[in-house]
Amino acid sequence: MVEASLPHTQVLKNAQRIVVKVGSSLVTNEGRGLDEQAIAQWSEQLAALVRQGRELIMVSSGAVAEGMKRLGWSQRPKEIHELQAAAAVGQMGLVQMYETKLRGCGVGSAQVLLTHADLADRERYLNARSTLLTLLSLGVVPVINENDTVVNDEIKFGDNDTLGALVANLVEADVLIILTDQPGLYSEDPRKNPNAQFIHEARAGDPALEAMAGGAGSGIGKGGMITKILAAKRAAGSGASTVIAWGREPRVLERLCTGEAIGTCLVAQTAKSQARKRWMSDHLQLRGAVWVDAGAVPKLVAEGKSLLPVGMTVVHGEFSRGDVIAVCGPDGQEVARGLANYGSVEARLICRKSSADFERLLGYVGEPEMIHRDNLVLTRA
């Protein structure tokens, strides 16, 4: 009924950049407080994968649940200010636990708190992306949670499954791994129907999957299997496949990355690079354009290089950092398009200049490229 087009084992075995999301019930041992042993085991696996040269991001729930435990609350509050207070209290213990366990394994960690507004605003989105990619390049494991201390009904993600998918989109991850208290996805709720069929592989975004998923799973977290299905659909938009697996499966992360078929794999149908390039190619209304000299064109088209400001001759239009802009040759014909690292005002200042001049002209040192090659798609051969 729902079949995947790629083998389960290849998706994980080839993954280089991985986002791991773990839920509140696992992190806090069903609300009884932070599960030190479980966090230690996940940290050991994260560290082992980092030593293999892979890039890992941990999206961890648990701040509110840990705060509830510390405050002596038995039920999850409904008032937003009480949730914020619980998150503020619980976040202290949560980040300290990850830092201690990861550092004990010889790997650095960093706390990153995000809200929906951070990813909806173009400038903040790019700042978050740049920070995370820099941390990954340094071999650090970012530990991400929703910034529950400042969210309200308009800006909260609603569940960390969605946050995990948004982070996967943000950093263009290869795979999103959702660790949960269930072995994976079933055709029906196995707690209600013992004859429910386990689904090993499926296509991310298949409408039949949503019909199979149930409601929220526990009173500790806010998610359920339906949020994981929708998260997989969202992650697939940027080419990331999703695996849903039991978080207490021994060495689950390491075994998945050796290609072992554990849990349910929801395979993205579009490759990561194709998804990004298709998104940029489909922009019908471009905010602006830069013209480049004759020497820059073959570097972009034939050599696959990034666009450097020194090769730019003219800046057209008014655009902001993160907008998709056109790159035109000396004849004015578009040869490529991509995400601008600088707005039009700054671009005019650094046009025809080398990166050594950026600090003097802009007052800070930013990216050396106007458009990085990873964010550039050719529109003319």
**Which among 204, 129, 141 has a CA at the least distance from the CA of 172?**
129
pLDDT tens-place string over residues 324-355 = 899 999 999 999 998 899 999 999 999 999 99
- DSSP-derived letter for residue 23 is -
pLDDT tens-place string over residues 199-226 = 999 999 888 888 776 544 444 344 478 8
pLDDT tens-place string over residues 245-290 = 999 999 999 999 999 999 999 999 877 666 666 666 665 578 899 9
Q: Strand (E) positions, the chain?
A: 17-22, 55-60, 109-114, 141-146, 175-180, 185-186, 198-199, 201-203, 241-246, 264-267, 288-292, 312-317, 324-328, 334-339, 376-378
* Predicted local distance difference test score (pLDDT) of residue 284: 58
Q: Band of the pLDDT at 316, cuts 50, 70, 90?
A: very high
- Quick one: average pLDDT of 53-76? 91
Q: 46 pLDDT exceeds 80?
A: yes
- Comparing 99 with 281, which gets the higher pLDDT? 99
The CATH homologous superfamily for domain 8-271 is Acetylglutamate kinase-like (3.40.1160.10)
0.85 exceeded by pTM:
no
d(CA 167, CA 152): 20
* Predicted local distance difference test score (pLDDT) of residue 361: 94
- Cβ contact 243:177 at 8 Å: yes
Per DSSP, what are the bridge partners of residue 65? none
Q: 379 pLDDT exceeds 70?
A: yes
The CATH homologous superfamily for domain 283-378 is PUA domain (2.30.130.10)
Q: Band of the pLDDT at 99, cuts 50, 70, 90?
A: very high
pLDDT tens-place string over residues 123-170 = 788 889 989 999 999 999 999 988 776 766 544 665 789 899 999 989
Q: 5 pLDDT exceeds 50?
A: no
What mean pLDDT, rounded, does the chain reach?
87
- Cβ contact 148:85 at 8 Å: no
Q: Band of the pLDDT at 60, cuts 50, 70, 90?
A: very high
What is the DSSP track for 269-304? SS-HHHHHHHHHHT--S-SEEEEE-TTHHHHHHTT-
Containing 81, the helix (H) or strand (E) segment is helix 80-104
pLDDT tens-place string over residues 287-307 = 899 999 999 999 999 999 999
For the chain, domain boundaries: 8-271, 283-378
- Quick one: average pLDDT of 87-109? 95
Q: Tell me how far apart the terminal alpha carbons of the chain are, to the nearest angstrom.
A: 41
**Which among 50, 63, 67 has a CA at the least distance from the CA of 98?**
63
d(CA 266, CA 286): 33
Distance of CA 126 to the CA centre of its chain: 12
